[in-house]
Structure 1
Amino acid sequence: MKDPSLTARLVKSMAAAANIDISVKCQIGMFNSEDDLQTLNQEDYQYMTKYISMIHNAGTSHVILHTRPAILSLSPVKNRVMPTLNYDFVNQIASDFRGKVKITMNGGITSLHQLSSLQSNDKHSIYSHMAGRWCLRRPLDLAAVEQTLCKKAIQHPQKCIDSYMEYALANQSKFSLAEVCLLLFLVVEQLREDYDQEEEGVLLSRDDMESLYDSIQDGLKELGRDNMASTDAVYFKQLAGLFKLLAETKVVNKWKRNRSEL
């Protein structure tokens, strides 16, 4: 981003070498350090429009904009939270380049409700929305994204989990238990949060969550060759603890720590 002409040359070279569409993903601005951080102004906006115009002329028609500016002296983890999200900045860019460049909005999307809210406020200029950590933190929400965006019927999470368990059990020899269990652990952590709040999740009633509890508990027992105790009580924290019997404790602790940083 410091050198728009360099980015443009790279885009032009890639477009010439490969018969594919070239997209560019970047922040909405940049600062060298925390001391330099300030609210983006008209000069910053003009720089961004110049940048996008140059790479568009070089051959890209799709730009993914992260809604935080980057602070170059900070780590990626700190850059996720330190600069303020600026959705209005991206919406204005999308409006100004409408019909010329497809603008995808990225950054800070954490729920279906927020996604719907962003869609209702973008005045139909945003081409699409990109989310990464949300899908890792709350994987069951993926089942409802298509319903939210396209008003299509969803495959119930119970069926998704049952299909995954069937696949995992049939292919145990191809994967380590840690690889098989990671997705299930993330699902259990999402269910634990929703269930412990004594509120219905975005998709699931308490009855649905309890049914998933039983399915996952039974699946973990099969993966562990029945060398695991089960309980009739619904206690997601205890269920999450069972993963330490299948994968190493330090591995599960790392999963939990990484999820807390999402």
Structure 2
Amino acid sequence: MNFLGTFLIIHFMYCHALPDIIRIVCHLLKTGIAAIFGPQSAHTASHVQSICDTMEIPHLETRWDFRLKREGCLVNLYPHPTTLSKAYVDLVKAMGWKSFTIIYENNEGLVRLQELLKAHGPTEHPITIKQLGEDSKAKHGYRPLLKQIKNSAESHIVLDCSIDKIYTVLKQAQEIGMMTDYHSYFITSLDLHAVDLSEFKHGGTNITAFRIVNPEKTQNVVQDWIFGEQRYLRKLNMDQTEILGGEVLLKEKLSILVDKNP
């Protein structure tokens, strides 16, 4: 792939075994590459980072990961976990929430919300923490959990889950009467713009989230990709709602790398 005059090598890494990872990365290094982007897998990325540190090759990431050390040759353009967590605290305070319920999907969610948990002192109104669970396709889905929250009369909800589950959670919340003008949701995902929320716009529910994608800039990104594909007689159908934060950060990294290595 050619990007601004720079040739990009794209290698899909499906392996997790250390010998295979070393073999693939060493093969890439022999080609004279200037940097390695990714991979997205946390397990694989840690090994790639170690090799890049040893060989002093820039390693660039665009994902949330509290385990990777941001030192040596690693550059991660994704907001630092602690900084992002503190931003959550500032937002909740700005909204004036005295009490709220946290719905999290896994342990990484608790790490993302650790500053919010620490900021809520023992003398303040209590907060409730609920784990989302795994099976949304079960007979009742997430409804039993959501009904517990509804019965508690809590109206402020912090939702931390993968982007592919956000719509399902909100839809099931709507079905049991938890998407009204009485309810407010703070969703921690930075890619909420990619979720279709049109079904909930008439309920009066306040849905808040951060984003790192500038709508004006993403439209330009989409047009660049479409025109780039047309040069190779390929058709690309997409709009700016399909652009995730990591993809925009990847383009920014490529632009920076190309500028530094003309």
Normalized against structure 2, the TM-score is what?
0.30
Task: Choose between structure 1 and 2: higher helix proportion.
Answer: 1
Normalized against structure 1, the TM-score is what?
0.30
The structure having more radius of gyration, on CA atoms, is: 1
